[in-house]
Amino acid sequence: MLVQISSACKHRMLQYLPITSWNTSVPYCKWRGITCNPKNHGRVTVINLTSQGLSGPIAASVGNLTLLHTLDLSRNQLFGQIPNLGNLQKMQALKLNENSLNGTIPDTLANCSNLKELHLYSNSLEGAIPREIGFLTNLGLLGLSHNNLSGTIPPIVGNITHLEKLYLGYNQLEGSIPDELGQFSKISIMDLAQNNLSGSIPESLFNLSSLQQLGLNINQLSKTLPNDLGDRLSSLQQLFLGQNMHAGRPPTRFFR
């Protein structure tokens, strides 16, 4: 059933009920998957409807739930484009992964300045990664893998200095890896695998001392790895380089 959010309702509650167990005789704040803040006249703050068999597009009126801090519609059968959610400035977690959403990533997401987790992976999103993503400086996780994204990786993504996990793999991204990705002081996972990335692996990536997993496999990258790789990437546990054009083997000192 279509996921609908009614902006006409006084509290902008869910009007059309995708969950059969919901009962209109019960206050909507008590419905499964819905959390409200009693201090704000029962306004919805959390929608968690993951894995509920929902289908259809996401209604544009969900963007009117201005006190929402978590929206989780992951693992359903939603399709269509992501609506404008730029008014959800309190939102900290947006999880739309594992659906069939298409179209481009809205640049208006940059208005969600408190966003800490952005899960859009495993959809059919296309077009370029909007450079405005780089304005989300509070992001700890950016998950855009397993889509049809194209173009280059915007260097401004390096401005997300709190980023801990970056998933851009399994797209159609091209061009070089920006040097700016070496600015992530807290990053533990960087997955850029299975794209069309080319050129050298930036020297700056070898200074990410907190990095535990680096996926660069199945690209067109070329680089002789530094002999002191194991010392510089002291936290690295997994390194994926296969099916590239890099020269030589990983340094012996990496295996310790």
Segment 204-215, tens digit of pLDDT: 999 999 999 999
Whether the CB-CB separation of 239 and 250 falls below 8 Å is answered with: yes
Q: Checking DSSP bridges between strand 34-37 and strand 43-48, what pairing results, if any?
A: antiparallel
Question: How confident is the model over 121-133, as pLDDT tens digits?
Answer: 999 999 999 999 9
Question: How confident is the model over 216-245, as pLDDT tens digits?
Answer: 999 999 867 888 887 888 899 999 988 886
Question: How confident is the model over 144-160, as pLDDT tens digits?
Answer: 999 999 999 999 999 99
pLDDT of residue 256: 44
The total number of structural domains in the chain stands at 1
* DSSP secondary structure letter of residue 201: P
Expressed as residue numbers, the domain containing 22 is 4-254
The rounded distance, in Å, linking the Cα atoms of 77 and 84 is 19
Q: What pTM, to 2 d.p., does this model score? A: 0.88
Residue type, 197: L
CATH number at residue 128: 3.80.10.10
Name the least confident of 9-13, 43-47, 50-54, 133-137: 9-13
Whether the CB-CB separation of 140 and 161 falls below 8 Å is answered with: no
